[in-house]
């Protein structure tokens, strides 16, 4: 089964100069290569005779495709293309000085039942290919020669930040607390946050600063709604179709949908010395002392299942054991 183009992620490009292409000048300058042509899977050749293959204007000529796959940096793409891990397009620039190979990636969270993803050699090849691509829009449109530069989203300095950044710089770059009561579904916690922000905390007579009230409200929010956090190993890249995709630059994982983890309750109150951390903690206790407490998730009871009829003792025991 051949996947369709929209099943793949439009990721990046590879540049091909005429001198390196091993393609004749006559073929390189033909009008057929001045528009985007898809690479052809060899298994699809069996469906057409020679005349139909030569008249197919949607795909590259077979001789051009074979010459391109002989290039050293495209040999990785050749293996991945034959296994349907990627899809490819090619076009020669109007002035004929270079060509561009568009690379479409099959995400790891799609079609796992149809395409085998267990090959370690293909994973290594794709990982290497990811770091060879030019992800810029100009290269994708064929306006510039595709090459890897410092703006690549997979470069270490763009992924991990400055390794020489001091702890003080990291601390100063932490975003300020920004409570959002509309994200809290618990009515009691929401009322508590509103009381904190409006400075009506029962038992607190000290006038709190605005930043202190925001810190307290965020602490209540994190306790009531830990929310979800994006897998920190993933980086988001804007696809050329306008939708983002995600990759782990270390493992080489490619995902169409982000991977989230459950957030944790609480956190670290990171305020400078003398900024009122003690009063913030005391105000938090007073603001939440009337809120109902919930047992840890490990010890919470499971809601009883609803059945259309009375089940047998054996069925109920089996359901309880596998719940």
- Nearest-Å Rg of the Cα atoms of the chain is 29
Please give the DSSP secondary-structure letter assigned to residue 166. Answer: -
272 vs 100, residue with greater confidence: 100
What DSSP assignment string belongs to 64-120?
HHHHHHTSHHHHHHHHHHHTTSEEEEEEE-TTSSEEEEEEEE--TTS-TTTS----H
Residue 38 near residue 58 (C-beta atoms within 8 A):
yes
Query: Is the pLDDT score of 72 beyond 60?
Result: yes
Of residues 182, 111, 102, 94, the one with CA closest to residue 135: 102
Answering whether pTM is above 0.75, one says no
Q: Judge whether 53 and 60 are in contact, CB under 8 Å.
A: no
Q: What pLDDT does residue 89 have?
A: 94
What is the percent of the chain with per-residue pLDDT over 70, rounded to a whole number? Answer: 88
289: CB partners within 8 A, 6+ apart: none
Per-residue pLDDT reduced to its tens digit, 14-62: 999 988 888 888 889 887 888 999 999 865 544 544 444 444 568 888 9
Of 273, 259, 264, nearest in space to 225 by CA: 264
């Amino acid at each position: 089964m051949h996947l369709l183009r929209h099943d793949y992620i439009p990721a990046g490009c590879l540049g091909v100069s005429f001198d390196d292409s091993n393609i004749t000048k006559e073929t390189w300058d033909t009008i057929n290569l001045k528009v985007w042509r898809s690479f052809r899977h060899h298994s699809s050749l069996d469906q057409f005779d020679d005349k139909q293959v030569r008249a197919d204007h949607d795909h590259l000529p077979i001789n051009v495709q074979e010459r391109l796959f002989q290039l050293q940096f495209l040999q990785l793409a050749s293996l991945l293309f034959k296994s349907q891990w990627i899809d490819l397009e090619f076009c020669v620039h109007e002035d004929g000085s270079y060509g561009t190979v568009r690379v479409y990636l099959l995400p790891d969270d799609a079609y796992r039942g149809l395409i085998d993803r267990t090959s370690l050699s293909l994973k290594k090849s794709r990982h290497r290919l990811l770091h060879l691509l030019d992800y810029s829009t100009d290269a994708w449109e064929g306006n510039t020669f595709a090459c890897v530069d410092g703006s690549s989203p997979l470069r270490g300095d763009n992924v991990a930040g400055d390794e020489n950044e001091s702890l003080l710089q990291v601390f100063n770059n932490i975003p300020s607390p920004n409570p959002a009561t509309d994200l809290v579904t618990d009515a009691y916690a929401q009322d508590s946050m509103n009381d904190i922000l409006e400075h009506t905390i029962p038992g607190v007579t000290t006038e709190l600063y605005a930043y202190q009230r925001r810190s307290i409200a965020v602490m209540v929010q994190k306790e009531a709604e830990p929310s979800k956090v994006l897998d920190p190993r993933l980086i988001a890249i804007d696809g050329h179709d306008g939708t983002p995709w995600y990759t782990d630059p270390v493992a080489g994982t490619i995902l169409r949908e982000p991977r989230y983890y459950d957030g944790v309750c609480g956190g670290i109150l990171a305020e400078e010395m003398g900024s009122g951390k003690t009063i913030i903690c005391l105000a938090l206790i007073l603001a939440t002392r009337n809120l109902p407490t919930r047992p840890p998730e490990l010890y919470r009871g499971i809601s009883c299942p609803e059945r259309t009829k009375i089940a047998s003792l054996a069925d109920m025991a089996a359901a309880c054991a596998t719940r």
